[in-house]
Amino acid sequence: MNQKSNFDAVIVGAGLAGLSAAMVAARIRLRVAVVDAGEPRNAAAEHSQGFITRDGESPAELLRTARAEVADYGVQLVSDSVQSGTRVESGFELKLASGTALSASQLVVATGIRDVLPELPGLRELWARDAIICPFCHGWEARDSATVLWAGTAMDLHKALIVSQLTGNLTVLLEQAVLDAEEQQLTTLRNRGVRVLVAEASALQSKKDSQGRPRLSGVALAGGEVLAADTFYLSGQMQPRDELLLSLGARTKQTPFGPFVEVDASGLSSVPGLWAAGNVVDPGAQLIHAASQGYRVGAAVAMAHISRG
């Protein structure tokens, strides 16, 4: 690729949202480039679930297949990171870490989110295997297991109710403030046989399986007790990778997960020609939602480009 390249659309982020947008736009013969630094959120997960026809496939294989498909339409895949973005008369100009400059009339940001996990000893080794966040993503695989759920907020109790549908052996750890404020939800959980403790997790204990991988064996509490467990649910802070969107002036809105960039039904931000899809603007989007949003954005980008003449 030359030091400066012009495209009809540049997409930042090569997850399923970004690659789906790239495919749709390229099929309408737009010149498309996708820039990605190779840091997918779900890199630690061995499998992905809930994507119909691809259930159980590894995230890496999903991306490999998607990248090959978009490449068949002439999409240029750029392994690089964006250092800065600027609005110019013709649209946008991006400077990459390698020194390359890309320009395009339409810019799509699909950079996802990063999980900010609590400082809990033993968590990193078990993350995305036995220490998980989402029952819709991994709950089936953890069904009927001895499960501990750490509820730091009232929202986590909604998750606990879902998890109680998947296992009859569930213990919920919570703070006194949550106990006092959510009596009705806790009554519902107790009626479903859920054990509720006012306690704080202090560490996750593990043992090696037959393949030498660490597997959860227990959750140590601050008071010294250890709960035998095979599965641990927690809630990390979801931090959008929205630096590029914000630097270009995109407006944000407040959500239950904090401020996220606001987009309309087509994925257009408050900045003309600047679009976004996937978790960077929708923290609750699963893989299949992200791919769908990317498709919608790709079609809208194609229409916007064609309308410009």
pTM of the model: 0.93
Q: What CATH number matches the domain at 4-115+238-308, 3.40.50.2000, 3.50.50.60, 3.40.50.1820, 1.10.10.410?
A: 3.50.50.60
Strand partners, 172: 149, 196
Strand partners, 232: 131, 148
Q: Give the number of other Cβ atoms within 10 Å of residue 306's Cβ.
A: 12
On average, the pLDDT of the chain sits at 94
| pLDDT tens profile 279-297 | 999 999 999 999 999 999 9
On the question of pLDDT at 94 being above 90, the answer is yes
| Distance of alpha carbon 144 from alpha carbon 285, whole angstroms | 26
Among 117, 131, 135, which residue's Cα sits nearest to residue 206? 131
Among 267, 270, 278, 271, which residue's Cα sits nearest to residue 301? 267
On the question of pLDDT at 82 being above 90, the answer is yes
More confident residue, 2 or 274: 274
Q: Give the number of other Cβ atoms within 10 Å of residue 189's Cβ.
A: 22
Element at 303 (helix H, strand E): helix 287-308
Parse the chain into domains and list their residue ranges.
4-115+238-308, 118-233
Looking at residue 3, what is its pLDDT?
59
70 close to 23: Cβ distance less than 8 angstroms: yes
14 to 78, 114, 148, 233, 243: CA distances (angstroms)? 9, 15, 34, 28, 16
Looking at residue 2, what is its pLDDT?
47
3-state secondary structure of 218: strand
107 close to 91: Cβ distance less than 8 angstroms: yes
On the question of pLDDT at 259 being above 90, the answer is yes
In which band, very low, low, confident or very high, does the pLDDT at 1 lie, cut at 50, 70 and 90?
Answer: very low
Q: Which two tokens stand for residue 20?
A: 């789906």
| Domains 4-115+238-308 and 118-233 are alike in CATH topology | yes
Architecture of domain 118-233: 3-Layer(bba) Sandwich (3.50)
